[in-house]
Amino acid sequence: MGDWLKNAVFYEIYPQSFYDTNEDGIGDINGITAKLDYIKGLGCNAIWINPCYDSPMKDAGYDVRDYKKVASRYGTNEDLYRLFGEAHKRDMHILLDLVPGHTSEEHEWFLKSQKQDPNEFSGRYIWSTHAFWGSHDYPYIGGESERNGVYFLNFFKCQPALNYGWLNPKEDWQDGIDSPNAIATREAMKDVMRFWLDHGCDGFRVDMAASLVKNDDEEKTGTSKIWQDIRKMLDEDYPEARMVAEWSDPPRAIRAGYHMDFVLNHPGHGYSKLARDYYNHPEDNKDMDKFFTGQTGEDPCLTDHSYFRKDDGADITAFLKDYQEMYDKTKGKGYISLLTCNHDTTRPRFNMTPRELSLYYSFLFTMPGVPFMYYGDEIGMRYLNLPTKEGGYGRTGSRTPMQWKKGKNLGFSDASPSDIYLPVDWRDDAPTVEEEEKDPSSLLNTVRSVLKLRADNEDLQSDGSFESLYAKEGQRPFAYKRGGFIIVINPSGQEETVPVDASGRKVVWQIGNGQAEGSSVKAGPQSFIVFA
Ligand code: GLC
Ligand code: CA
């Protein structure tokens, strides 16, 4: 795979909260352009932007009203085209967020689809043929349309499901995946992708990628066929374009045509059949939960045993077992994407100290695959307890404005504090970029430094080999090999002797203390040591 993902490190931007350039209190596209050098300076050479399209914002933009128009609060399409150009000048790449499974109930397609008279869009969404009947497996809405039928939802009430067909249709109103209606939906989505790719976008993060075909089987046979078809379009017409799935099942997502897939750290919110269909991960990934944030209960919660916690962390074995299996299945075919967190999950600072975070990120950025960092995690921004905004609910606290410097709105915006999108961290010790820049041992500078190590060494990038050297049940240290490097991590508060032979090697990067001693490694408390 000779492509730009080989050394890609992504930065996720929630546009409304990143940087406001016109004093209206809402982050904008020009704000992202203005901060490209900051992002590049961090060591991130690629960006994923959450939906920035015209929308009623009942799910913060995941309810798209017009796929081809930038929401006016973020600027214009021209602003976005300019951002693509400025990114490319810096050898950076930009993924937009594609929301293929549903639109807003205000999308023109839906407004036409809900009319009783048959028209071009009658089959664009999933409708039953009776105003009182739906299906037990999926949520639906009755009594809202002119049309004599109910329509199916993909997520919130405002997000009707687009019609990609059913795997084995059972009712006469259910289309098959190769039916004219299902094909028309698929082609419409390809047209949206072409539109942005033609304007310079480098690919997509795909929302709820496993959700397209209804009544799909466990292998996601139906949904996979659709993505394989879309991948064919990319390979033929946009060979540089890349897609990352929100699927959380890398072997299946990559088989379906994705270049990479996230391993999500969703806390366990009542894994219904619906959630399983959509994200396809819950039950299987419990150990991943434990590993990243440990949040196995309500969102967010403090009863966690994340591997990186000094005092009550778990061992690495549960995570490693899952990871190794995914890695073996996907190696050479596509990438696993580990992430600090995202706009749907609790910021890791919620239950980890900056030191714990520095170990966490150092691990993340020295693993294979393509890593993602959520804006603000590089300075350890907090999760804030806030009332819901634009359908955020428990997620709102992870979506607050970026903290650039001390002073008004922490440098996010010149608008009046009462007008900004969400409040900024109000505590005196709210971390900021400006302050962390001055402190050589800050989280921000640790991130920069480990990303520089990755950038300078192909062995530590996406394709470099990975081998576990030491991982034992009930033991805290973990050692692994990346190409010619040996890495030892000890998240505990005590010095540990790790039976890994690093004799004759040099320490090239470290947090805390550690050295080779005979045929083992002495790893100090909360340490991370890279031997070359
Ligand atoms: C994805 C998005 C989330 C959104 C949902 C519905 O999970 O990440 O923010 O609410 O899909 O589109
Ligand atoms: Ca603005």
Are residues 469 and 442 both part of a single domain? no
Q: Domain of residue 152: give its range.
A: 104-161
CATH number at residue 143: 3.90.400.10
**Residue 235 belongs to a domain:** no
**Residue 192 belongs to a domain:** no
- For position 306, what pLDDT does the model report? 79
Distance (Å) from CA 47 to ligand 2 centroid: 19
Are residues 148 and 63 both part of a single domain? no
**Residue 207 belongs to a domain:** no
Q: Is the dihedral of CA 213, 328, 288, 368 positive or negative?
A: negative
Are residues 75 and 115 both part of a single domain? no
Alpha-carbon Rg for the chain in angstroms:
23
Distance CA 493, CA 490 (A): 8
The residue contributing the CA closest to ligand 1 atom 9 is 344
**Residue 246 belongs to a domain:** no
Are residues 271 and 405 both part of a single domain? yes
**Residue 219 belongs to a domain:** no
Are residues 473 and 342 both part of a single domain? no
Instruction: Out of 433, 458, 483, pick the residue that ends a domain.
Output: 458
**278 Cα nearest atom in ligand 1:** 7
CATH number at residue 498: 2.60.40.1180
**Residue 371 belongs to a domain:** yes
Are residues 373 and 282 both part of a single domain? yes
Ligand nearest to the CA of 72: 2
> Which regions in the chain score pLDDT beneath 70?
1-2, 265-305
65, 344, 390, best to mutate for ligand 1 pocket (most atoms within 8 Å of CB): 344
Q: Is the dihedral of CA 528, 307, 526, 497 positive or negative?
A: negative
Are residues 22 and 122 both part of a single domain? no
- For position 266, what pLDDT does the model report? 53
- For position 264, what pLDDT does the model report? 74
Are residues 482 and 395 both part of a single domain? no
Are residues 136 and 78 both part of a single domain? no
Give me 157's structure tokens. Answer: 């009430």
In the numeric block, the tokens 């239950």 are attached to 351
Q: What is the DSSP string of 285-318?
A: GHHHHHHHT---SSSS-S----TT-TTT---SHH
Distance (Å) from CA 339 to ligand 2 centroid: 27
Instruction: Out of 438, 458, 478, pick the residue that ends a domain.
Output: 458
Ligand nearest to the CA of 390: 1
Whether the CB-CB separation of 456 and 486 falls below 8 Å is answered with: no
Are residues 501 and 382 both part of a single domain? no
**Residue 275 belongs to a domain:** yes
The residue contributing the CA closest to ligand 1 atom 3 is 344
Give me 84's structure tokens. Answer: 């693509």
**Residue 114 belongs to a domain:** yes
Q: Which of 104, 111, 100 is nearest to 164 (CA)?
A: 100
Ligand 1, residues at Cβ distance < 6 Å: 59, 62, 99, 155, 207-208, 246, 343-344
- For position 271, what pLDDT does the model report? 33
In three-state secondary structure terms, 448 is helix
Are residues 450 and 307 both part of a single domain? yes
For 141-185, the pLDDT digits (tens) are 999 999 999 999 999 999 999 999 999 999 999 999 999 999 999
The DSSP letter of residue 45 is -
Are residues 430 and 472 both part of a single domain? no
For 311-322, the pLDDT digits (tens) are 878 888 878 888
Distance CA 363, CA 17 (A): 27
Count how many domains the chain has.
3
C-alpha count within 13 angstroms, C-beta hemisphere, residue 46: 23
